[in-house]
Amino acid sequence: MYKAIVRALIRRSIRELNVGDAGPALAVFATDATLSFPGDNSWSHQFRPPVLGRERFVTHRGKDEVAAFLDAYVASGIQMTVEDVLVNGPPWNTRVAVRVNHGIPEGDGYRYTNRAVLFATIAWGKIRAQEDYEDTVRVAQYDDLTGQTPAR
């Protein structure tokens, strides 16, 4: 039952992001949550220059920085389609992987498209840490498309 509830909350949060409401997504993040967005792009540089390499680098610390990330995401007009939500573990140490397609609709197609896997660690219904994995070359192309450049 718990896993079904987590899947439903994730799907609801993404549905709400798609209509411009970051509130439900932000509500599931813990106050001290972290977000890691890999690569050399405007998303990863939002608050501090990323350290490139094999180890996970936290690009967003705390709920305020996660809120700024979600607000920028919503403002970009990106739409996500969930392909799969995998949930494992007990309520105090739940791991979630969400595979999505996302992009910015334009006319009959998309101005920007990408695929991603969002991996989160959840304790008692709150995201403690999230890592977003996607084609960072496409993210850099998005930056070129929108005129955004990472703050270096």
What is the rounded radius of gyration, in angstroms, for the C-alpha atoms of the chain? 15
Average pLDDT over residues 58-84: 95
CATH number at residue 76: 3.10.450.50
Say whether pLDDT at 151 is over 60: no
Q: What angle, 0 to 180 degrees and rounded to 10, lies between the N-to-C axes of helices 2-18 and 62-76?
A: 50
Tell me which residue range forms the domain holding 137.
2-146
Confidence of residue 53 (pLDDT cuts 50, 70, 90): confident
Residue 152 placed within a domain:
no
| Edge-to-edge strand ranges of the sheet holding 109-123 | 60-61, 29-36, 126-134, 109-123, 94-106, 79-88
Residue 59 placed within a domain:
yes
Question: How far from 129 is each of 2, 56, 79, 88, 137, CA to CA, in Å?
Answer: 19, 11, 22, 15, 24
pTM: 0.89
Residue 31 placed within a domain:
yes
* Interval 72-100: pLDDT, tens: 999 999 999 999 999 999 999 999 999 99
Structurally, the chain folds into a number of domains equal to: 1
Residue 151 placed within a domain:
no
Question: How far from 13 is each of 9, 48, 58, 64, CA to CA, in Å?
Answer: 6, 26, 22, 17
* Interval 98-108: pLDDT, tens: 999 999 998 99
Q: What SS3 state is found at 12?
A: helix
Residue 123 placed within a domain:
yes
User: In this predicted structure, what is the pLDDT of residue 146?
Assistant: 77
Residue 55 placed within a domain:
yes
- What proportion of the chain, given as a percentage, has pLDDT over 70? 97
Q: What SS3 state is found at 14?
A: helix
Residue 68 placed within a domain:
yes
Confidence of residue 149 (pLDDT cuts 50, 70, 90): low
Average pLDDT over residues 50-79: 91
- Looking at per-residue pLDDT, the higher value among 86 and 1 belongs to 86
